[in-house]
Amino acid sequence: MIVLLTNDDGINADGIQALKAAFLGVPGAEVYVVAPDRERSASGHSITIHHPLQVEEVDAGEAGGRSFAINGTPADCVKLGVKALLPETPQVIVSGINRGPNLGTDVFYSGTVSAAVEGIILGIPSIAVSLTAFENLDYSFAARFAVYLTGEILARGLPENTLLNVNVPPLGEEEIAGVTVTRLGKRPYENIFERRFDPRGKLYFWLAGENLTLDDGPDTDVGAIKDNLVSVTPVHLDLTNHEVVSLLSQWGLTTRPGTGPTKGAP
């Protein structure tokens, strides 16, 4: 089994180191880490096209697995790892363990989730794993659960173009109430831009804000974490709203505005 590990917190983050240690304990596992050389949180699915990607091997296998630091994004790391650094295509990609949650609308901003998205774009089963806290973190259970879930994926398979987004409560194993399969909740941000001036008098803004939970029902990832459950959410690559395709088809859209049913009226 060849496993590719990545993250958006940087190659030295405690989460990915716990993940690496857990996978190195799996008999027959060949573990590769390809991760950013620094924190790349909230980088989304950005890729690097305007400057070269630099690679530094930081662990040549002495500890049982090779590790590479990349001066790019999580999506870059997956692309480069699969296409250039690994000896062959990995059987699975695991992104994480993220410091902090990736719930609801977080998946659109998250570098952790985007790395898994890149994995399924490349046709490789992928999961993203997050620990839903920022302080006093113990990644050991989340790492063990990631190994367990990987085994289930390899045994059962995943549907095409589908990743699993996993959020783990920051609790001891005995305190976790179980595992539940969920949908994404609604957890947008209240964006606040703090207005400041630099020492030269130039205006700049610092983005802050808080989450606004709009949907935390018991079937959502947000609700699962509130109930001390591990949340496993299948996320599909196809963003098309198929129900609306037939609706828009009835609009009679044209390349000649003013000739259709509404005659181009606002």
pLDDT for 257 beyond 80 = no
CB 15 within 8 A of CB 98: yes
Q: How far apart are alpha carbons 151 and 7 in whole angstroms? A: 20
Which amino acid is present at 83?
Answer: K
Q: Which pLDDT value is given to residue 191?
A: 84
| pTM: predicted TM-score of the whole model, two decimal places | 0.91
Residues 43-67 have pLDDT tens digits of: 999 999 999 999 999 976 666 689 9
Over pLDDT 70: what percentage of the chain?
A: 95
pLDDT for 186 beyond 80 = yes
Q: How far apart are alpha carbons 200 and 202 in whole angstroms? A: 6
pLDDT for 266 beyond 90 = no
Strand partners, 220: 183
Q: Which pLDDT value is given to residue 34?
A: 98
CATH fold, domain 2-185+216-239, is Stationary-phase Survival Protein Sure Homolog; Chain: A, (3.40.1210)
Local structure of 28: helix, strand or coil: coil
172 vs 210, residue with greater confidence: 172
Helix (H) / strand (E) containing 116: helix 111-121
Average pLDDT over every residue of 66-71: 96
pLDDT for 220 beyond 80 = yes
Q: Which pLDDT value is given to residue 215?
A: 84
Peptide bond just before 97 cis, omega within 30 deg: yes
Average pLDDT over every residue of 143-147: 98
- Pick the range with the lowest mean pLDDT from 74-83, 124-133, 187-196: 187-196
Domain boundaries, the chain: 2-185+216-239
CB 167 within 8 A of CB 128: no
Average pLDDT over every residue of 162-173: 96
Average pLDDT over every residue of 239-258: 89
Summary mean pLDDT of the chain: 93
Q: How many residues does the chain have?
A: 266
Average pLDDT over every residue of 118-139: 96
Residues 27-40 have pLDDT tens digits of: 999 999 999 999 99
